Structure 1
Amino acid sequence: MSDNWGRWGPQDQAGALNLVTPEVTRRAAGLVRSGRTLSLAQPLGPATPSPGHRPGLQRFMNRDAGDYALGARTPGGFKFAEDTVMVPTHSGTHVDALSHAWAGEHLYNGHPEASTRSTRGAQRCGAEHLVPVVTRGILVDLVAASGGPLPPSAPVDAAALRDGIAEAGVEPEPGDAVLVRTGWWESHGTAPDYFADEPGITGESAAWLAERDVALVGADNYAVERQTSEPGFPAHLVLLHRHGVPLVENLALAELAEALAAEARSTFLLLFAPLPLVGSTGSPVTPVAVL
């Protein structure tokens, strides 16, 4: 299939998330053994690293202990604290909405690029259309397969994706979420070059995943795909633009990898529920693995 445009109708804005049917969710529920839950999100705060072209998260206290030190009223002895957070939607662990990347003059499914403007946000394919799903997750653990974190700019092709699945006989199926552990966050999460020269999937392996009708693709790096000196983001265009597959970036996968290795498996139940931020091109998200 060359793309998913029109597959779920001309007005569709959910893309490959449509592939997570009730049958897919019921199948995923059968993977739960211990009931243990693991967050796959990095901590998000003012110290969270951010690339140079994006501001970092900012937090402002609306009410705190200082107000009471200065004489604020405490009816019945009651005190409280509140804060306001300003967070770029593409910082920390987040998901790219289908309005995030495109080529030519149309977003995913032929929606016009003119629908995305600074005054109105994304009027088509915004984050509010990223419906919550429960599906089968597959961890592709390239750290375990290669004996350590991948080196800078290492390409992850389809053969490497297969090799990183430890569970015999498992391949991506329609509605699955495929999460790729490169070790980049573990080895470069505090380094200045975290936002450059990362290993990751290629346009070719993105097409391989799209052909298998996956619903989500994520990785423990900045952009899911490999970064090199060559311009462009081919995997973004294959997955987001042509096939409507949301990308989950900056995942924390080490604890999940350890837990799955102890059970000699690569599959698990995944809970995915981003914030329905109307008109946004992405959303913070805390994916949860249930073992």
Structure 2
Amino acid sequence: MLDEPNNWGRWGAADERGALNLLTPETVLAAASCVREGRVLGLSLPIRGATSSPAPTTVPHLRGRPLPQHFMSVDGGDYAAGTRAIGAGLKMADDALVVTPHGTTTHMDALCHMWSGDELYNGHPADRVRSYGAGRCGIDKAGPVVARGVLFDVPRLRGVEHLAATDRITPEDLEACGVELRPGDVAVVRTGWPLTWADGPDAYWSGQPGLSAGAGRWLAARDVCAVASDNAAIGGLNERQLADEELADDLHMILLWRHGVPLLEMLWLEELAAASRTDFLFVAAPLRIEGGTASPVTPVAVL
């Protein structure tokens, strides 16, 4: 499957950052010039509650995935025996957070997340991905992402609130958005799909719109440093929440595995879309989870 264009070896045999290598100091400085208003918008979904509360059911997630668990000690009913006195009448509440990022909250996929055969991105051995973490291409290798973000608002292009579950975004759709894409940009693709959660989980779980394989190749050919979207898998999903593409056309294979392009999934893009800005400073810093396949993130758009 590496007969088609790819980034293996482009930044050396030891490379584990992939297209994030495009974020040179010059690229970051150019991205900063997108800040014209000083307004900051958060682009993440909230993490709410624990399984003992109804809160997680109010946040979009894929069916059957372990939901984030947020426990607090303040009421004595969760993971610790009440608040802790720390002298002079002061008390302190503690938190414990358990998150399986994929399919449950806003997150960034590492280059070790998916692969084919015996090799990760850039030919690193896949047998280094073990239960204790990935020895190569983990999320800790990514580092902070500070780049020019470019919004492809496909629902606005089509004049709809959100795309249909069966919609697949084509290169022609991306071109028709009329935005300028530069090497090192983060392509931010809006489908509007999180809005369907208001109609109930079954509506959200009926499938998902996303990029077609052709659109993924179109973005990779333009040297984006990352691709972000408000859907759960960058590509589309069927009603069983699985991708329909053959392995060669799977969006994770095209972007993560072949081109080393990290993916940011399950963003909230409605305020950004309402701002009518197609370019902005994009900032996201994954946690330095050694050998992690992903990290929760709070992407930020600075307008």
Deviating more after overlay: 44-53 vs 98-107? 44-53
* Aligned counterpart for 2:259 among listed residues 235, 240, 243: 243
Distance of 2:207 and 2:83 partners within structure 1: 53
Which of 121, 124, 133 aligns to 2:145? It is 133
Question: Residue 187 of structure 1: SS of its match in structure 2?
Answer: helix
- Picking from 128, 139, 142, the partner of 2:154 is 142
- Contact 2:86/2:92 (8 A) holds in 1: no
Aligned equivalent of 2:184, options 159, 165, 175:
175
Shift of 1:108: 0.4
Match of 1:30 in 2: 33
User: Hey, what's the Cα distance between the residues in 2 that align with 1:116 and 1:77?
Assistant: 48
Deviation, 1:171, is 2.6
SS in 2 for 1:75: coil
Residue 145 of structure 1: how far off its partner (Å) = 0.6
1:109 has 2:125 as partner: no
**Match among 106, 110, 128 for residue 93 of structure 1:** 106
| Cα pair 1:49 1:56 within 8 Å, conserved | no
Distance 1:237 1:31 in 2: 31
After superposition, residues 209-228 of structure 1 pair within 5 angstroms as: 209-228=219-238
Structure 1 residues 72 and 101: alpha-carbon distance in aligned structure 2, compared to 1, 3 A threshold: closer
Cross-structure match for 2:66: 55
**Equivalence for 1:201:** 211
Identity of aligned residues (%): 44
Indicate the residue corresponding to 1:230 in structure 2. Answer: 244
Equivalent residue, structure 2, for 1:184: 193
Q: Report the AA paired with residue 6 of structure 1.
A: G
Out of 164, 167, 171, the position equivalent to 1:154 is 167
Partner of 1:13: 16
**Quick check: 42-51 or 106-115, which moved more?**
42-51
* Distance (Å, rounded) in 2 between the aligned partners of 1:70 and 1:2: 57
1:275 and 2:287 correspond: yes
Alpha-carbon deviation of 1:195? 4.3
RMSD: 2.2
> Contact 1:12/1:109 (CA < 8 Å) preserved in 2?
yes
- Residues 82, 267 of structure 1: CA spacing in aligned structure 2 closer, same or farther, 3 A cutoff? same
Verify the 8 A CA contact 1:89 1:281 in the aligned structure 2: no
Q: 1:123 to 1:143 in 2, by over 3 A?
A: same
SS of the counterpart of 2:214? Answer: helix
Deviation at 1:193, TM superposition (A): 4.5
Q: Could you list the runs of 5+ residues in structure 1 that have no partner in the other structure?
A: none
2:91 alignment partner, SS class: coil
The Cα shift of 1:135 comes to 0.9
Quickly say closer, same or farther: Cα 1:75–1:252, change in 2 above 3 A: same
In the aligned structure 1, how far is the partner of 2:265 from the partner of 2:257? 16
Q: How far, CA to CA, are the matches of 2:44 and 2:284 in structure 1? A: 11
Aligned counterparts of 1:196 and 1:286: Cα–Cα separation in 2: 26
- Does the 8 Å contact 1:162/1:171 carry over to 2? no
Query: Cα gap change, 1:155/1:83 in structure 2, threshold over 3 Å: closer, same or farther?
Result: same
In 2: Cα distance, 1:95 partner to 1:164 partner? 25
* Structure 1 residues 69 and 130: alpha-carbon distance in aligned structure 2, compared to 1, 3 A threshold: closer
Distance 1:272 1:73, change over 3 A: closer
Instruction: Kindly provide the CA deviation profile for residues 202-256 of structure 1, in whole angstroms up to 9, marking residues without a partner as x.
Output: 1111011000000010111111111247355611100000000001100100100
Provide the rounded CA distance (Å) in 2 between the counterparts of 1:71 and 1:186: 38
Q: Secondary structure at the match of 2:88?
A: helix
Distance 1:17 1:192 in 2: 36
Range with bigger deviation, 245-254 or 222-231: 222-231
**Unmatched segments (≥5 aa) in structure 2:** 50-55
